[in-house]
A and B are shown apart, each in its own frame.
Chain A
Amino acid sequence: AQTVTQSQPEMSVQEAETVTLSCTYDTSESNYYLFWYKQPPSRQMILVIRQEAYKQQNATENRFSVNFQKAAKSFSLKISDSQLGDTAMYFCAFVGQGAQKLVFGQGTRLTINP
Chain B
Amino acid sequence: NAGVTQTPKFQVLKTGQSMTLQCAQDMNHNSMYWYRQDPGMGLRLIYYSASEGTTDKGEVPNGYNVSRLNKREFSLRLESAAPSQTSVYFCASSDTGLSNQPQHFGDGTRLSIL
> What residues of chain A have their CB less than 8 Å away from a CB belonging to chain B?
4, 9, 32-33, 35, 42-47, 50, 52, 91, 95-102, 104-107
At the interface with chain A, which of B19-27, B41-49, B69-77, B78-86?
B41-49
Query: Whole-angstrom distance from the CB of A44 to the nearest CB of chain B?
Result: 5
24 residue pairs bridging A and B, Cβ less than 8 Å apart: A4-B42, A9-B40, A35-B102, A43-B88, A44-B105, A44-B106, A45-B43, A45-B90, A45-B92, A46-B105, A47-B102, A50-B102, A97-B99, A97-B100, A98-B99, A99-B99, A100-B50, A101-B45, A101-B58, A102-B43, A102-B45, A102-B103, A104-B43, A107-B42
Interface of chain B, main secondary structure: loop
Query: Whole-angstrom distance from the CB of B2 to the nearest CB of chain A?
Result: 13
**11 further contact pairs, Cβ within 8 A, besides A33-B100, A44-B107, A100-B50:** A4-B42, A33-B99, A42-B107, A43-B107, A44-B105, A45-B92, A50-B100, A52-B100, A96-B99, A102-B43, A104-B44
Alpha-carbon separation in the docked complex, A42 to B88 (Å): 13
> What residues of chain B have their CB less than 8 Å away from a CB belonging to chain A?
31, 33, 40-45, 48, 50, 56, 58-59, 88, 90, 92, 97-100, 102-108
Query: Whole-angstrom distance from the CB of A89 to the nearest CB of chain B?
Result: 9
Query: Whole-angstrom distance from the CB of B6 to the nearest CB of chain A?
Result: 10
Residue contact B100 to A105, C-beta cutoff 8 Å: no
CB nearest to A106 among chain B residues: B42
Alpha-carbon separation in the docked complex, A43 to B92 (Å): 13
CB nearest to A44 among chain B residues: B107
